[in-house]
Amino acid sequence: MNTEKLKGHILILIANILFAINMPISKYLLPSHVQPEALTIMRMSSACLLFWLTSLFIKREKVTMKDLGLLFICALCGVGINQGLFIVGLNRTSPVDASIIATGVPIFVMLLAAIILKEPITKMKAFGVLLGCCGGISLILASTHATGQASSLEGNLMIIVSGFVYSIYLVLSKPLSLRYSAVTMMKWMFLFSTLVLLPFTWQHVPGTPAFHREAFDMKEIGAICFVLIGATFIPYLLIPMSLKRIRPTTVSMYNYIQPIIASLIAVMVGQDTFSLQKVLSAALVFVGVYLVTQSKSRADMEKEKAA
């Protein structure tokens, strides 16, 4: 594995660690501390501001009108619809259901990449995705405890659609990541998302309970700050940087890392314990990621034909 590909793997690993930490924190905030609609627009607008401020310190890139249109679609799929449905859906379902449904993302990406990018679905890649999916679900079920958190069909459907549109984003944004910097892509994507969602969500922000306490609760404020920066600005900066270096299906496979991180956090804080099932499940995930990484890409197959 060359240095650039290794960087891509490290970047997407960090992004998914942050996403994994975000799951319990967002569940803690919703809805008693922050309404889901308010948290969604706060994420969009704060990331928009941070990316545009960051863009002032890097070389300006001219984006064509055609690519702006593609960025608008990516904004809806990767940020607006994806995060909006995820936050609202998470409020209406359990973290366990949301985590299990999220394991479908690499399958969506593999199929979409084959259709849109003409990436081959090799036996090794398909087996790797299936293995990772089995490992992820097994790990989630091994960590499931009765928490009294109800699930609803509506909430689960929202999480499914959220995962599907995010898969579309990963595939469509691959060519853009090769032409533009991560900051350029994200500043436009979050601007478009903010403008689209603002009319439907802004009215929920003034009524946010966390802003009306007699004294600020630092736990609440810290959780909100993490969601806005640690779970939005930073990972969305890292994703296109990773896509520039590795394939969309490989990027999506790191979704399976999230339940592993969540399980490790639960063990560290004394909420869970290690078991043989969890160790074997994690091993399945890592083997699955490895197989997808080693599977042949479209470029590899074209080189073999030309040889």
Q: What are the residue ranges spanned by the domains of the chain? A: 3-120+148-277
Sequence-ordered list of residues with C-beta below 8 angstroms from that of 287, at least 6 positions apart, any chain:
128, 131, 132, 135
H or E segment and range at residue 14: helix 3-29
Say if CB 252 and CB 117 are below 8 A apart: no
Sequence-ordered list of residues with C-beta below 8 angstroms from that of 85, at least 6 positions apart, any chain:
158, 159, 161, 162, 165
Instruction: Give dist(CA 184, CA 63) in Å, integer.
Output: 8
For helices 81-91 and 95-102, the axis angle rounded to 10 degrees is: 140
Say if CB 33 and CB 270 are below 8 A apart: no
Taking the CB of residue 24, how many other CB atoms lie within 10 A of it?
16
Q: What is the pTM of this model?
A: 0.83
Low-confidence ranges of the chain (pLDDT < 50): 146, 148
Tell me the three state secondary structure of residue 270.
coil
The model's pLDDT over 79-96, given as tens digits with 9 standing for 90+, comes to 889 888 888 887 787 766
The model's pLDDT over 28-78, given as tens digits with 9 standing for 90+, comes to 888 788 888 899 899 999 999 999 999 999 999 999 999 999 999 999 999
Say if CB 63 and CB 188 are below 8 A apart: yes
